Amino acid sequence: MNQNHICVLIHSPLVGGLTWTLVANQMQKRGLEVLVPVLYDSLDSEKPYWKQHAESVSKALPDLPQDVSVILVAHSGAGPLLPVIRQSFTNPVHAYVFVDAGIPRDGATRLDLMKSEDPEWAAQFQEELERGELFPNWNVDDLKEVIPDESLRGQMVAEIHPRALDFFTEPIPVFVEWPDAPCIYIQFSAPYQRPAILARQSGWQACELDAGHFHMLVDPGAVTDLIINSMNSIPSRTF
């Protein structure tokens, strides 16, 4: 990786940093500079979740020289956070990479984005949240197909952050100039077909790997290759 880039791998606020640990290890073995910040939030804070998560990333970034650019890679629910994360630091962004992730829309809530992707499922999901249910409520058996390794599956479940209705109904802003760098979309699973289509319609580079939602914990080498190859195909940029 170019010494003037740092790759920041961002996990969904519904889970933990384990999501990207294996890919980060692969990148480091290849001599790439990489960071996996953990998204923190507190119910005692008056700040919205999205602001707490953006600050988690900015606080985790080292004191970078201004000529170092950042590559933001988001999985799943971290996708809508990329514009606010980008505004939390001053270094330039080299690229945004969405991996089986939602695409930001100014002022849209997470629930709004779900409704645009799968209205019927989202309506049912909203009813469950309004009844006081939390999401995700996965157990080790629920994730057996997407994360075959028993140890990793157990660690994933231990990091889950079940969320209530207020998490899914907070509007997340997008600044006017976004995207201010090339965007790449990588689709793993069927539920993210519509965001992948939207990415292509927006002129983004997009590719597909038929896999489970947490494929970075199944074949981190292949996912690392896919991210690097996607970066290398950006015109006039060297990854």
Beta bridge partners of 97: 73, 184
Give dist(CA 107, CA 164) in Å, integer: 19
Domains along the chain? 5-107+172-232 (3.40.50.1820)
This model's pTM is above 0.85: yes
Q: What is the pLDDT at residue 63?
A: 86
Provide the 8-state DSSP code for 163. Answer: B
Q: What is the pLDDT at residue 117?
A: 86
Return the SS3 of 155: helix
Give dist(CA 172, CA 109) in Å, integer: 6
Peptide bond into 173 cis (omega under 30): no
- For each of the chain's 239 residues, which pLDDT tens digit applies? 456 889 999 999 999 999 999 999 999 999 999 999 999 999 999 999 999 999 999 999 988 888 899 999 999 999 999 999 999 999 999 999 999 999 999 999 999 999 998 899 999 999 999 999 999 999 999 999 999 999 999 999 999 999 999 999 999 999 999 999 999 999 999 999 999 999 999 999 999 999 999 999 999 999 999 999 998 887 655 44
Q: Exposed (0-12), middle (13-18) or buried (19+): which is 131, by Cβ within 10 Å?
A: exposed
The rounded Cα 40 to chain-centroid distance in angstroms is 14
Which H helix or E strand runs over 94? strand 93-99
Give dist(CA 37, CA 57) in Å, integer: 6
Phi, psi of 84, deg, nearest 5: -75, -30
Q: What is the pLDDT at residue 2?
A: 54
Q: What is the pLDDT of residues 68-124, one digit of tens each?
A: 999 999 999 999 999 999 999 999 999 999 999 999 999 999 999 999 988 999 999
